[in-house]
Amino acid sequence: MQIFLIGWGATGKSTVAQALAKSLRWHWVDTDVLIEETAGSSIKHIFSERGESGFRELEAKILEEVVQGDHRIVALGGGAVVRETNRQMLQDRGPVVWLTASVDAIVDRVRADAMSNSRRPALTSLGDREEVSRVLQQRLPIYQQCATLVVDTEGKSPDMIAEEILAALDLTAA
């Protein structure tokens, strides 16, 4: 079994993946990190060199490899579930947990994280808040269709979120 964490960037997927992995004594991976390691460059650079479709191809390839594992928490990039084949792979392999936050919280978290700004590509020519709002609105039905469980991350620590996920999935910390 694996647990897949989906949602917009800055909703806590990587941090919660670490907290879950620690609780369950499982491994965790971040597909964005694996993509950057495979490509030898940042996601922002991959987008500028290959375009979004080139990035999504690489992401799908990495995901095909990742879903073969077991006892692992997988933090996925915000757009990983845009492709139907990716969604199907996830749903076939384990629970898919959608981490949510308000547009304001997402924008505040991204702005507070210097690393985020250097790694994340702009998906539109809109400003931060408008981009998050518009693209999130487009992805909402996809996240809803894919999710086994929805967890709001606002005002909660990563450990609190991990505990909520474990309880909802009826899993016991190791």
Domain of 33 in residue numbering reads as 2-168
Q: Which helix (H) or strand (E) holds 3?
A: strand 2-6
> Number of structural domains, the chain?
1
Residue 88: count of CB within 10 angstroms of its CB = 11
- Asked whether residue 173 is domain-assigned, the answer is no
Secondary structure of residue 104 in the 3-state scheme? helix
Full DSSP string of 67-98: TT-SSEEEEPPTTGGGSHHHHHHHHHHS-EEE
Question: In terms of Cα–Cα distance, which of 72, 73, 89 is closest to 81?
Answer: 89
Q: Give the pLDDT confidence of 123-134 residue by residue, as tens digits.
A: 666 677 888 899
pLDDT of residue 52: 92
Rg from Cα positions in the chain: 15
- Asked whether residue 98 is domain-assigned, the answer is yes
pLDDT of residue 22: 98
Q: Give the pLDDT confidence of 77-122 residue by residue, as tens digits.
A: 999 999 999 999 999 999 999 999 999 999 998 888 766 655 666 5
- Asked whether residue 174 is domain-assigned, the answer is no
Mean pLDDT for 153-171 is 98
Question: In terms of Cα–Cα distance, which of 42, 3, 8, 43 is closest to 26?
Answer: 3
Quick one: CA dihedral 84, 100, 65, 46, positive or negative? positive
Is 101:152 a contact under the CB 8 Å cutoff? yes
pLDDT of residue 121: 64
- Asked whether residue 68 is domain-assigned, the answer is yes
- Asked whether residue 119 is domain-assigned, the answer is yes
Mean pLDDT for 17-35 is 98
pLDDT of residue 128: 78
Bridge partner residues of 152 (DSSP): 100
Q: Give the pLDDT confidence of 35-73 residue by residue, as tens digits.
A: 999 999 999 999 999 999 999 999 999 999 999 999 999
CATH number at residue 154: 3.40.50.300
Q: Tell me the pLDDT of the chain averaged across its residues.
A: 93
pLDDT of residue 113: 78
Q: Which residues of 62-73 are buried (b: 16+ CB within 10 A; e: fewer)?
A: bbeebbeeeebb
